[in-house]
Amino acid sequence: MKLNQVIALVQGRKARATKTLTDAYRWKDEMLKGISRTYKPNDEDGEKLPSENKVVPLHAETVIKGVTSRLTDLYNTVITQETANQEARADIIIDGGILLAGVPITVLLFFEKQLIDLLTFTKSIPVLPVDKTWKWEQQKGCWVTDPEITTRTTKLPKVIVKYNATKEHPAQTEMYSEDKITGHWSTIHMSGAVPKTKKDDIINRIEKMQDAVKQAREKANGLDVPSMSQAGEIFIDHIFNG
């Protein structure tokens, strides 16, 4: 039998064993009782009464046999699976090369779950804004842009004379503001995000690893496993029969 066939049996046998145990818990004293009564009058012509008979509806031994049978099937299957798990191994192959050799199937299953979390995490990594050109600054330990130079202006009040003063009228003036460059800003943007290409590369490697681990797991699950049909019987028999 292949390991993947054994694995397919485990869940069903667990469910059946659980149901059998649960049903067994429900027995009551009345279910184990029977009776047989007959009546004999002292005098031959005395009143005749009908006998009373009730067979025992449930035998504890029968329940025990049902439970032990289900548990034996379950134990045999689980022991076979777990014993095979110690031997089931496969290589993780990436791009035709062996990345990890002889990885146990339990580790392959662990890797499968971890890769789902790693992919979710990687997809959340922020990337550098694409509207700017970035370069790595070793001293600052982050990504930076070239300086952007912008001017700073200040509004200065000015007076314009519209009409000069005469003997009859005062001068007519008007206030206005004039922008004057008073300095320059030099702005360098910094970011702790990562380039989009790096994020995409990580996602691509995770997806490749997922495929490789699944293939390795399928190969390991194809292992021919010896049946451990004696183990369950020995275990249960010792408990119930000594």
- For 232, the domain range is 1-88+225-242
Whether 112 is covered by a domain: the verdict is no
Low-confidence ranges of the chain (pLDDT < 50): none
The pLDDT, as a whole number, for residue 185 is: 93
Residue 134, pLDDT score: 97
Alpha-carbon dihedral 98, 3, 117, 127, rounded to 10 degrees:
30
Q: Is residue 77 part of a domain?
A: yes
Query: Who's near 223: CB < 8 A, 6+ residues apart?
Result: 2, 3, 84, 87, 88
Q: If DSSP states are collapsed to H, E and C, what string results for 193-209?
A: CECHHHHHHHHHHHHHH
Neighbour-count burial of 77, counting CB atoms closer than 10 A to its CB (0-12 exposed, 13-18 middle, 19+ buried): buried
Can you tell me the distance from the alpha carbon of 145 to that of 128, in angstroms, rounded to the nearest whole number? Answer: 11
Angle between helices 60-85 and 229-241 (to 10 degrees): 140
Residue 117 confidence (pLDDT):
97
Task: Output the pLDDT for position 232.
Answer: 87
97 falls within a domain: no
Residue 122: partners with Cβ closer than 8 Å, 6 or more residues away:
199, 202, 203, 206
d(CA 40, CA 128): 103
User: What is the tens place of the pLDDT at every residue in 126-156?
Assistant: 999 999 999 999 999 999 999 999 999 998 8
Residues 156 and 237 in one domain: no
Residue 230 lies in a domain: yes
- If asked whether residues 28 and 81 sit together in one domain, one would say yes
Number of domains making up the chain: 2
Q: Record the pTM.
A: 0.69
Note the pLDDT of residue 11: 87
Specify whether 173 is located in the same domain as 232: no
Residue 165 located in a structural domain: yes
Longest Cα–Cα distance of the chain, Å, equals 165
- Determine the pLDDT at residue 68: 92
pLDDT at 217: 94
Hey, what are 213's tokens? Answer: 């681990």
Question: What distance lies between CA 216 and its chain's CA centroid?
Answer: 19
The answer to whether 108 touches 99, Cβ cutoff 8 Å, is no
The 3 state secondary structure assigned to 74-100 is HHHHHHHHHHHHCCCEEEEEECCEEEE
